[in-house]
Chains A and B, each alone.
Chain A
Amino acid sequence: MEGVLNQLPIGLSIGAVLLLIALGLTFTFGQMGVVNMAHGEFIMAGAYTAYLLQGVGFLIALPAAFVVAGLMGLVLERTLIRRFYGRPLDTLLLTWGVSLMLQQLARDLFGAPNVQVSSPAWLRGGIGILPYNRLFIMALAAASVLAIWAYMNRTGQGRRMRAVMQNRRLAATSGIDTGRVDQRTFFIGSGLAGVAGVALTLIGPVGPTLGTYYIVDAFLVVVAGGLGQLRGAVLAAAGLGLLNSYAEFWSDASLAKVVVFVAIVGFLQVRPQGLFFVRSRALT
């Protein structure tokens, strides 16, 4: 019984990390039709930012990683992705090329072996079966979701973002500068991946291929949660995190991913567009 309970914080914290990663993906995909494979490397960039800022203070690493990853995303959007709007499959391949280069860059800058980021003293230990580091990750994700929710629903910028997501052309004709909105969304989404990277340093080592371990699962969260859906992403991330950790617990680790895959395909039989979606009469 204790083992079963132990899996709970593990699954939820993995879900929280997936959520932080998937938020950026779901908004860039939903708003701009961009499937960004280089998103995983923004996670890695965030994690290395935390590595470089060790000693300066963990709480400083969080905003720093947000800015570093966000700026990387912004540069990528301005230089390359902007040319590919509306061609999701091409962006997928394009950004994969970028992600290869970023991985090699990390290898050249920090070396191929993994590095360990020592977590701050106040995050060691825990209450009962709840380790502080995993609690912190969950709190971090919750705070981020709240901030995103407030941004989208309580600010002018957020309203414009939702407008562009729902109907880009109508938004443009209403006088919204869709290019600027795209840039902001990309910055915020990539920045959240950086924050996820910092969170990951609390539960494991950091390496040049860190992003590749999470990107596939994060995309599954997007598929299951529905495009551009905050609620969907939260539920799907929590579900996927728990499913992953319990499938590993009850079967063995090697079967867990297969179980998750079968579950997702099964879920799509009932909800082909994900948990939540905007109803529309338009085709495709």
Chain B
Amino acid sequence: MTAPEQSARRWLGPAVFSAVAVLALVAAPLLLEPFRLGLLAKYLCYAIVALGIGLAWGQGGMLTLGQGVFFGLGGYAMGMYLKLNDAAGDLPDFMVWSGVEKLPALWKPFGNPVFALAMVVVLPAAVALLLGALVFRQRVRGAYFAILTQALAAALVILLVGQQGLTGGTNGLTNFFDFFGNDVAADETQRGLYLLVAVVLGALYLGARQLVRSRFGRLLLAVRDGEDRVRFLGYNPATVKTLTFAVSAGMAGIAGALFVPVVGIISPALLGVVPSLELVVAVAVGGRFALAGAVLGAVVMGYARTYFSEELPDAWLYLQGALFVLVMTLAPKGIAGLAANLVRRREVRA
């Protein structure tokens, strides 16, 4: 590779990032009608979860099938605050309908916005830390870990549905009016929320990229590719994995909290086994080994789902399944892998 090509390569990443940032922050809010902008904001929320999956799975080799759990914890923390804020001292509406007479103790602290916002990150990260510490320390890994996270997602959904008076049951938390002094339904609020989501995603992306490039990131890659060798070198792989898992859970929590005002609901159906797996699929489609691939995959699959379930509702499940099978068999590195091949081939030719 010649010197100019090398410098061109160095600039390629930041150039693409800036172009995407301009598109997302300037062009999209100007060009898209409010409904479409809202959809994009929703996909970007999913992209934040996908970024976490890319970090844990693509970089760390931990296939987590339960990111919906952390998404949900963040979402419910935000939803509880918004509900209490709307109720202004009374009981939230759904509690009245389910015959609850006194505000449950679990809900009380969530009336405080600072506490609720902290819980958005703390709660998911703490659950992930605990689970990771217990599981990784015992060297439970690979498919076992995947199965456990999936079981956790299944258990949480049943719990949320069952505790009607505490969680709103199947309906979840919805009917929000006020978001920190703004009317949630107003177009300006939604545009602001979109920008907030985009900025948070960009910041988290840069942070995750920095993390991967740091010493810690190298250790993480090493754990993915040869956990035992890392152990022989004197590091503790369990610590590396647990911390990464907690970071990815925190990201999912933030995504869940942003999702609630953007979409206006958080419910068990949004965070069970299937939605969690769908996001993993999206990451696989986008390219699990590149953080940008994970983000891209979430947005692409979001659009594909909306488009096909509007146009061909019956065929969507077939298409999704078939796409998945095709990607896994033909392009296990996803779109990002295909793009990297393309760049490399051109370089070889030149």
Binds B, one of A82-90, A116-124, A172-180: A82-90
The answer to whether A97 touches B142, judged by C-beta atoms less than 8 angstroms apart, is no
A253 interfacial contact with B, CB 8 Å: yes
The answer to whether A284 touches B227, judged by C-beta atoms less than 8 angstroms apart, is yes
Q: Which residues of B contact A252 (CB under 8 A)?
A: 162
Q: How far is the CA of A284 from the CA of B160 in the complex (A)?
A: 37
* Interface size classification for chain A: 35 or more
* Residue among A88, A98, A254, A272 having the largest count of chain B Cβ atoms under 10 Å: A254
Binds B, one of A126-134, A139-147, A158-166, A256-264: A256-264
Which of chain B's residues 90-140 have a Cβ closer than 8 Å to chain A?
A: 131, 134-135, 138-140
Q: How far is the CA of A90 from the CA of B329 in the complex (A)?
A: 9
B273 interfacial contact with A, CB 8 Å: yes
Determine the residue in chain A with the shortest Cβ distance to B160: A254
Interface SS, A side: helix
B28 interfacial contact with A, CB 8 Å: no
- Measured CB to CB, the closest approach of chain A to B66, in angstroms, equals 10
B216 interfacial contact with A, CB 8 Å: no
Contacting residue for A101 out of B134, B162, B281, B322, CB 8 A: B322
B300 interfacial contact with A, CB 8 Å: no
- Knowing A29-B143, A35-B146, A88-B142 are in contact, say whether A257-B321 is a contact too (CB < 8 A): no
A150 interfacial contact with B, CB 8 Å: no
Determine the residue in chain A with the shortest Cβ distance to B283: A93
Q: How far is the CA of A258 from the CA of B332 in the complex (A)?
A: 34
- Knowing A88-B143, A254-B162 are in contact, say whether A97-B227 is a contact too (CB < 8 A): no
- Measured CB to CB, the closest approach of chain B to A32, in angstroms, equals 12
Q: How far is the CA of A2 from the CA of B152 in the complex (A)?
A: 32
Q: How far is the CA of A83 from the CA of B317 in the complex (A)?
A: 23
Q: How far is the CA of A103 from the CA of B147 in the complex (A)?
A: 21
The answer to whether B138 touches A268, judged by C-beta atoms less than 8 angstroms apart, is yes
12 A-B pairs (CB sep. < 8 Å): A80-B325, A97-B281, A99-B321, A100-B320, A104-B317, A212-B273, A216-B273, A219-B150, A257-B155, A261-B152, A268-B134, A272-B138
